[in-house]
Structure 1
Amino acid sequence: MIYVVEVTSPGKANAWFAFDREDFSRKVRVAKERDGCVIFAVATPRKLLEAAGLTPESPAARASHATIFELADKHGWDTELYRADELLGEGVYESEPVSEFEACVAALAEGLEACRIYLSDESATNALYGDPFYQGREGFAAHRALRDQLIALEVISDDM
């Protein structure tokens, strides 16, 4: 189980869960995808050009899609390139692998005051009782959100 705590502004927090990384990525995409922004994609320069209905040999392709040709010149036509706008920068393709999970974490955190992600029941429970993030007046809303989520999923019992 994956647990997410989002602090949207001081004193306001919510928590939610995902069953696994795939479920997490799906939920983030549904919540955060917007026109023009790519959360995560993998493509070769050839596939990018084909998506525009062109091939490297197409007349005027270089002039109309210079950026794709620059990527091909630098990396080759069939090298997989990764795009994750919130992680790498808008419209940036890199050959260094990026995981979909990392890209989704970056997209999720964008615009939040704070965000915490726990990959297990144990790590979420340990954080709830041991992480200073959840202590004091500043941490109360986040503490309450995570605590309520853990109780709802019967990870901890309601001790009140």
Structure 2
Amino acid sequence: MIYVLEVPTQGLPKAWFAYDDADFSRKVAASDPLQPWEIYDEVTPRGLLDALGHDDATSAQARAHYPALCALGDEHGFDTPLYRADHLLGRGVLRAEPVSARAALAAALNARTGLHCIYWDERAAVGAFEGADPRIAGPAHWHARRALYEQLVALEVLADDN
């Protein structure tokens, strides 16, 4: 499971979880102003051109209508995966260097106001509650740790002894 702690600039912290990467992606996208494919996508120039109705990526018509996309295909190959992660790379940027979905989703959360702590597994979440994450350690962050604790108890990761 993936655990998320949201600490708003005003108001009480909130913790939530996702079962896996796909669930995490759905939950982040549900509350993001961008479309899911803008948050993270992996596509090829040929796939994009095909989706736009150009089954021949090298045709004169495709080149006339989508010169930038064809230039990416010429530069990297029409079947090379290109990555889009608008919160991480900028709006509409496609690049050939790999971007992980987790990095893109973390950037989407971090683009929001407040602090967003992502714990990719149970061990990291429990460690954060116990003080291993300096972002929420100390008396000033008691409410944040309490929200995380309550989520961990609800999921039976920790026993409710308080």
TM-score by length of 2: 0.86
Deviation at 1:122, TM superposition (A): 2.2
- Whichever residue aligns with residue 2 of structure 1, its letter is I
Residue 139 (structure 2) aligns with? 136
Unaligned runs of 5+ in 1: none
Provide, for residues 23-46 of structure 1, a one-character-per-residue CA deviation record: whole Å limited to 9, x for no partner.
Answer: 212222223253597011111111
Q: 1:23 — aligned with what?
A: 23
Give 5+ residue unaligned stretches, structure 2: none
Q: Does 1:40 align with 2:43?
A: no
Runs of 4 or more consecutive aligned structure 1 residues displaced over 6 Å after TM superposition = none
Contact 2:29 2:36 in 1 (8 A): no
SS in 2 for 1:3: strand
Give the partner amino acid of 1:17: F
Amino acid at match of 1:145: A
Give distance in 1, aligned partners of 2:121 and 2:61.
Answer: 52
What secondary structure, in the 3-state scheme, does the structure 1 residue paired with 2:98 have? coil
Provide Cα deviations, 1:43-68, integer angstroms capped at 9, x if missing partner: 11111111111233444332321110
**How far off its partner does 1:89 sit?**
1.3
Kindly provide the CA deviation profile for residues 93-121 of structure 1, in whole angstroms up to 9, marking residues without a partner as x. Answer: 11111222221121122113111111222
TM-score, normalising length from structure 1? 0.87
Paired residues, what number?
A: 159
Amino acid at match of 2:148: L
**8 Å contact kept, 1:7–1:115:** yes
- Read off the aligned partner of 2:88 and give its amino acid letter: L
Question: Does residue 124 in structure 1 map to residue 146 in structure 2?
Answer: no
**Contact 1:43/1:80 (8 A) holds in 2:** yes
Q: What RMSD over aligned residues (CA atoms) do the two structures have, in Å?
A: 2.1
Q: Which amino acid aligns with 2:71?
A: E
Which fold has the larger relative contact order, with Cα–Cα distance below 8 Å and residues 6 or more apart in sequence?
1
Within 1, Cα distance between the matches of 2:98 and 2:124? 27
User: How far, CA to CA, are the matches of 1:36 and 1:155 in structure 2?
Assistant: 30
When structure 1 is superposed on structure 2, of 5-14 and 86-95 the one drifting more is 5-14
Please tell me whether the aligned partners of residues 42 and 82 of structure 1 are also in contact (alpha carbons under 8 angstroms): yes
Distance 1:132 1:43 in 2: 37
Please give the alpha-carbon distance, in whole angstroms, between the structure 2 residues aligned to 1:64 and 1:21.
36
Query: In structure 1, the residue corresponding to 2:69 is in which secondary structure?
Result: helix
Identity of aligned residues (%): 46
